[in-house]
Amino acid sequence: MARRHQVRSAGLTAFAAAALASATLFTACSTDSPDTRSDADAITVSQPWVKALDDVAADGGMTSAFAVVENDSDRDVRIVSASSDVAKTVELHEVVESGGTTTMREVDGGIVVPAKGSATLDPGGEHFMLMGVTKSIRSGDTVTITARFDDGSTETVEAIARDFNGNQENYSPEHTGERS
Amino acid sequence: MTRVSRRTLLTGGIGLAGIGVGAAAVGVGHEVSASTTDAPSTLPFFGEHQSGITTPMQSHVNFIGLDLVDPADHRVLQSILRMWSQDAANLTQGRPGFSDTEPELAGDPSRLSIAVGLGPGAFASPALASRRPGWLTPLPDFAIDRLRPEWGQTDLVVAVACDEPMTLAHTVRLVIAPVRTRTRVRWMQQGFHHGRNLFGQVDGTVQPDARRYDDLVWNDGREQPWMAGGTSLVLRRIAMNMDTWESLDRHGRELSMGRTLDNGAPLTGSHETDDPVFTATSGGIPVIPESSHIARAHRRTDREQFLRRPYSYDVPPSPGSGDTSDSGLIFAAYQRDPVVQYVPVQQRLSDHDALNEWTTPIGSAVYAMLPGPREYLGETLFA
Ligand SMILES: [Cu+2]
């Protein structure tokens, strides 16, 4: 949120104009006329990465992916589902704390990217959960993540895998708290 | 007003086209908010050359020597360079890296630079073998060398430097952690910069004229087009024996160096930057001894010039060794062609240099320092 305001207040200096001329962010930013862009056109996904998965269980493994999602429109945009070339399914997760344990679970209603704001998907927070990964994903491997928005539009990014130990919260598919 | 000029300085107007749209947008927002001091605390990451080479020396450095776990797979190398670029583009500008678990440690870049080089082993893949620069081979054996394998040649080097030790440590962590199953850290050489070395000598005085960097430091791409804008690094670890140096009196120290300890002036001059006069004699004896360090190191041809970036190291002696110190110099020399520019000077110093009595090279490696990135480090190698 704060970041978006800063970009605005910076104004379009020559530098900024040059840097952003090609960005979808600024292609339709008249504040007077209604924003008719699709959700995907209003969204910029940056800094994508995926947690490497070295040992894959026989029934498929799980890992997570992260990114910064920015919304340049005047309306909230919702990521309602996601998919990946390396996973059978991708869930949208959040991490919640209850009774001293943190647990990850599916987000009700998807991930909201606030109007003129951003959502940071990071370890310990909201993230893409890749389920049913049948091949190992090694550091340096590239995977694609496709986010689908409320209006049906989609945005696909390539994420490079990184060795990373975090985001190991228990997963509770039934929203029942900790997994044994 | 300072905001605008800072922004121009930070981006330099070059390489911006290569930044991802998202990164560029984020960058504007942060730069506006990141002005607490007047002195620029960020160095550009994108551009024709990597920062940290001709940049005025930062006060702290960590040279990380890494080997590739699977050097035959050039795609892994390419991915590693992409990931390092992702994080470096952020960290050098005071923003957290992609997988940064300590983002609060990223806010004070303190002139952070992250410069990457490739050793001969990085060209092991058949796809890259023909792209290895001809000079990227082991240096000749020098008689003075007592090289220890633990400080030897590695496949990759990352020179991380800045003015703040916490920023340095945080950055080093982010260089290594995301690729730890793909690389092995062989050594780290941590050093600090001061105008003097641990012998008290003014160091790094003789440097090529900045107007000749394009000719003497930067690669012109003639042999390997992908290297244009890059350079070479010779990294030598030189142990300094503080105990025996202690036994040498002040006059003897000045004669061994050929310069005064007071201000680093040559013994024939009064200021550090005065040109030494090797022909000057006093009572028939050269004022600057022929065996002194500066007499031996002085260039004999125009090509024998290179950029010196000396860092001191002072680490604990091995427990139980009985040594009083483990100190010395991390001598980083940058030049277009080390065989033509560096080796003749080093050969003379090896053949004879009064300082050899108190100094011992224990590590040596050569790297092709990548050109500056427009999109990511090494992009021209894989093009
Ligand atoms: Cu999850």
What residue of A is the nearest CA neighbor of B12? A15
Residue-wise pLDDT for B279-336, tens only, equals: 999 999 999 999 999 999 999 999 999 999 999 999 999 999 999 999 999 999 999 9
CB contact, 8 Å: A75 with chain B?
no
| Cβ separation B28–A7 shorter than 8 A | yes
CA of A121 to the centre of ligand 1 (A): 11
pLDDT tens digit sequence for B128-138: 999 999 999 99
Smallest CA–CA separation between B312 and chain A, in Å?
32
Lowest mean pLDDT among A22-31, B153-162, B204-213, B354-363: A22-31
Residue A57: per-residue pLDDT: 82
Tell how far the Cα of A171 is from the centroid of ligand 1, in angstroms: 6
In percent, how much of chain A has pLDDT > 70? Answer: 77
Interface mutation target, options B28, B35, B102, chain A, most CBs of A under 10 Å: B28
From the list A7, A54, A141, the residue facing B25 with the nearest CB is A7
Residue A10's pLDDT band (boundaries 50, 70, 90)?
very low
CB contact (8 A) between residue A6 and residue B182: no
What chain B residue is nearest to A47 in terms of C-alpha separation?
A: B98
Residues of B in contact with A66 (CB under 8 A): 98-99
A69 in Cβ contact with A84 (< 8 Å): no
Of all residues in chain A, the one with the smallest CA distance to B69 is: A139
| Other residues' Cβ atoms within 10 Å of the Cβ of residue B135 | 21
Beta carbon pairs, A and B, within 8 Å = 110
Gap between the Cα atoms of B76 and B79, Å rounded: 5
Q: Which of A125-129, B118-122, B333-337, B348-352 has the weakest average pLDDT?
A: B348-352
Q: Which residue of B has its CA nearest to A72?
A: B25
Tens-place pLDDT, residues A11-58: 333 333 333 333 444 444 445 567 889 999 999 999 999 999 998 888
Is residue B18 predicted with pLDDT exceeding 90? no
Task: Return d(Cα B183, Cα B67) in angstroms, integer.
Answer: 5
What is the Cα–Cα distance from B112 to B52, expressed in whole angstroms? 8
Cα(A90) to centroid(ligand 1), Å: 9
Q: Residue B181 and residue A139: Cβ atoms within 8 Å?
A: yes
| pLDDT value at A60 more than 50 | yes
**How far, in Å, from the CA of A50 to the mean position of ligand 1?**
12
Pairing assessment for the beta strands B281-282 and B285-286 based on DSSP bridges: antiparallel
For ligand 1, an ion, list residues with CB under 5 A: A 93, 104, 129
Using DSSP, state whether B293 is helix, strand or coil. helix
Domain ranges of chain B: 60-381
Three-state SS at B321: coil
Task: Please judge whether B29 and A10 are an interchain contact, meaning their C-beta atoms are less than 8 angstroms apart.
Answer: yes
The two beta strands, A170-171 and A101-106, are parallel
Helix (H, G, I), strand (E, B) or coil at B87: helix
User: What is the pLDDT of chain A when averaged over all its residues?
Assistant: 82
- Residues whose CB is less than 8 angstroms from the CB of residue B42 and which lie 6 or more positions away in sequence, other chains included: B10, B34, B92, B93, B94, B109, B111, B112
The phi and psi torsions of A44 (rounded to 5 degrees) equal -125, 125
- Cβ partners under 8 Å of residue A24, min gap 6: A37, A41, A42, A44, A72, B21
CA distance B224 to B118: 14
With an 8 Å Cβ cutoff, the interface of chain B facing chain A consists of 4, 7-8, 11, 13, 16, 19-30, 32-33, 75-76, 79-80, 82-83, 86, 90, 98-99, 101, 177-182
Of the candidates B366, B310, B330, the residue with the CA atom closest to the CA atom of residue B152: B366
Residue in chain B closest to A54 (alpha carbons) equals B181
Instruction: For residue B76, give the chain A residue with the closest CA.
Output: A140
Residues 9-38 of A with CB under 8 A from B: 9-10, 13, 15-16, 18-20, 22-25
Write down the mean pLDDT value for chain B.
90
State the burial class of residue A29 (Cβ atoms within 10 Å of its Cβ: 0-12, 13-18, 19+): middle
Predicted confidence at residue B99, as pLDDT, reads 96
Q: Report the residue of A46, A54, A138, A164 to disrupt the B interface, i.e. the one with the largest count of B CBs within 10 Å.
A: A46
Give me the pLDDT at residue A132, please. 95
pLDDT above 70: residue B39: no
**DSSP sequence for B142-206:** -TT----GGGS--SEEEEEEES-HHHHHHHHHHHHGGGTTTEEEEEEEEEE--SB-TTS-B----
Q: Would the pLDDT of A98 be above 90?
A: no
Task: Please compute the mean of the pLDDT values over residues B7-32 and round it to a whole number.
Answer: 33
Contacts of A24 in chain B (CB under 8 A): 21
How far, in Å, CA of B197 to CA of B201, rounded? Answer: 5
Which residue of chain A comes nearest to B24, CA vs CA?
A19
Minimum-distance CB partner of A163 among B23, B82, B178? B178
Q: Give pLDDT, residue B40.
A: 62
Query: The tokens of B228 are what?
Result: 């244009």
Q: How confident is the model at residue B38 (pLDDT cuts 50, 70, 90)?
A: low
Right CATH number for A39-159 from 3.40.50.300, 2.70.150.10, 2.60.40.1890, 2.60.120.260? 2.60.40.1890
Tokens of B17: 């086209």
Cα angle A81, B83, A138; round to 5: 65
